[in-house]
Structure 1
Amino acid sequence: MQLPTILLTTLGIATTAATLATTTSNPSPPATRLPLPLAPAPVPIPIPTAPKPHLKPWNLTSMRSFSPSGRPGSSPFVTLNLTIVDLNDADRLPRSALKNATLEAECDTQWSWENFDYDKDPYNRVHNCSKVDVGWWTFELFKTNASVPNPARNFLVQFEHHVKRDEVYVGVGNLSVETNVRGACGGSGVCTWYLWEGAMPVYINQARV
């Protein structure tokens, strides 16, 4: 499923100009009114690849997933844990409040591997993150175009930071074993995936919506 996009509509405006000239013997014909062109249809544009100059990118500081073995008695759930922080929040709080402020959001979800449908679960579901001192966070997983998409190690994640009710920012991170995820599966079938040290933090550019 394609990611949500920001729509930008540009209205085309045409003007007409007529030269008025009159003489006593040969008056000019009336000016012809040109039709206004139709406004073009909305054109979707992706989230900017670079933040506004005054915004620092979000930092995804941790990602860890766990897949059970599937053996009798084992957990039926795959778990995913993400940690994100908006460094801009330090400028949104009084300096006296920074020392004890909670700025990192913990974003967790789980899904059952039994009867799992990789085309549906756990994608396109909005989840709340843990409480922070500036607004609140939500996140949503999306299927990637990777050769082997998997919501535990190859996926897109969209975060929304609701700084205020009328001030919301959105950004998308790409997590993949080809770039920033490492891990392995044991002989029992248990798999663990995480951000490798050389890729931390993962920078996520945001845009206001």
Structure 2
Amino acid sequence: MKQTPLLLALTGTFFSSTAHSASPLPAWQVTVFNTHSPAERPGSDYSFFIRATISNPGSSSAPSTPASTANCTVEWTYPAQPYGTGYACTTEEADAAWTLELENPPGANYSSPTENVDARFTLVVRGAEEATTLSGTQHFEVGENLEGVCGGSGTCSWGLRDDSVPVLVEPTVIS
């Protein structure tokens, strides 16, 4: 391909603008993502859960975000589905409020939230004058970054693969 001055100028402008649009925020780290689905036997407890631990290492750049860690739990009972609701997470930092929302992955014909799910983490940082909202989504799927076991009764437990820890989530500023 012959490179012309115009092509070189456009290419330089593209790379320059994409370099400046990159988020100055450090990636969040998911160090725990455990799921459980119950046995499929009559009379069994049909309670499902997903538990996650996520950390924000903090950033002194704009927007400034203090370090925080949250533990999130989503529980539901069949036939209900956990999608589309923001579940509050617990944290010890008074100026940070985390939520976890589960989403059915795009294009999935069938998705069990405990085996194949997109997790949207949202962090609201309360500053002295205003609050900043950040959000980031990551995909969790058995065979990719989750592994575990299913028993003969149908009870399944999945967790992060050792070689996947931590799973990084790229946050973006929402407001």
- Calculate the TM-score normalised by the size of structure 1: 0.63
Match of 1:42 in 2: none
**Which one of 29, 52, 56 corresponds to residue 23 of structure 2?**
52
The C-alpha deviation readout for 1:91-126, integer Å capped at 9, x for no partner, is 855xxxx9xxxx32110011112xx26xxx110011
Match of 1:86 in 2: 56
Conserved 8 A contact 1:106-1:129: yes
Aligned partners of 2:28, 2:22: CA distance in 1, in Å? 10
Structure 2 residue 164 is matched with structure 1 residue 199:
yes
Residue 137 (structure 1) aligns with: 98
**Structure with the larger strand share:** 2
Contact kept, 8 Å, 1:69 with 1:190, in 2: the verdict is yes
Q: Which residue of 1 aligns with 2:120?
A: 158
Provide closer, same or farther for how the CA distance between residues 147 and 182 of structure 1 changes in structure 2, counting only shifts above 3 A. farther
Structure number with larger C-alpha Rg: 1
- Pair 1:61 & 2:22 matched: no
Of residues 87, 91, 105, the one that matches 1:127 is 87
- Name the CA distance, whole Å, in 2 between partners of 1:173 and 1:122: 16
Q: Which runs of 5+ in 2 are unaligned?
A: 1-20
The residue identity in structure 2 corresponding to 1:65 is: T
SS of 2:23's equivalent?
A: coil
Residues of 2 paired with 1:75 and 1:51: CA distance? 46
Structure 1 residue 71: deviation in Å?
3.0
**TM-superposed deviation, 1:178:** 3.7
Please say if residues 157 and 172 of structure 1, whose CA atoms lie closer than 8 Å, have aligned partners that are also in contact.
Answer: yes
Counterpart-to-counterpart distance in 2, 1:166 and 1:176: 33
User: Are the counterparts in 1 of residues 65 and 125 from structure 2 also a CA contact under 8 Å?
Assistant: no
Gaps of 5+ in 1: 1-49
Identity of aligned residues (%): 28
* RMSD of aligned alpha carbons: 2.3
* Structure 1 residues 207 and 64, CA gap change in structure 2 (3 angstroms): same
SS at match of 1:198: helix
Contact 1:51/1:205, CA 8 A, preserved across alignment? no
66-75 vs 191-200, which moves further = 66-75
Structure with the higher fraction of residues in helix conformation? 2
Secondary structure of the residue that 2:91 maps to in structure 1?
coil
Per the normalisation by structure 2, the TM-score is 0.74
What is the number of residues matched between the two proteins? 146
Q: Which residue is 1:170 aligned to?
A: 135
**Amino acid in structure 1 at the alignment position of 2:23:** K
- The offset of 1:83, in angstroms, is 0.7
SS state at 1:88 partner: coil
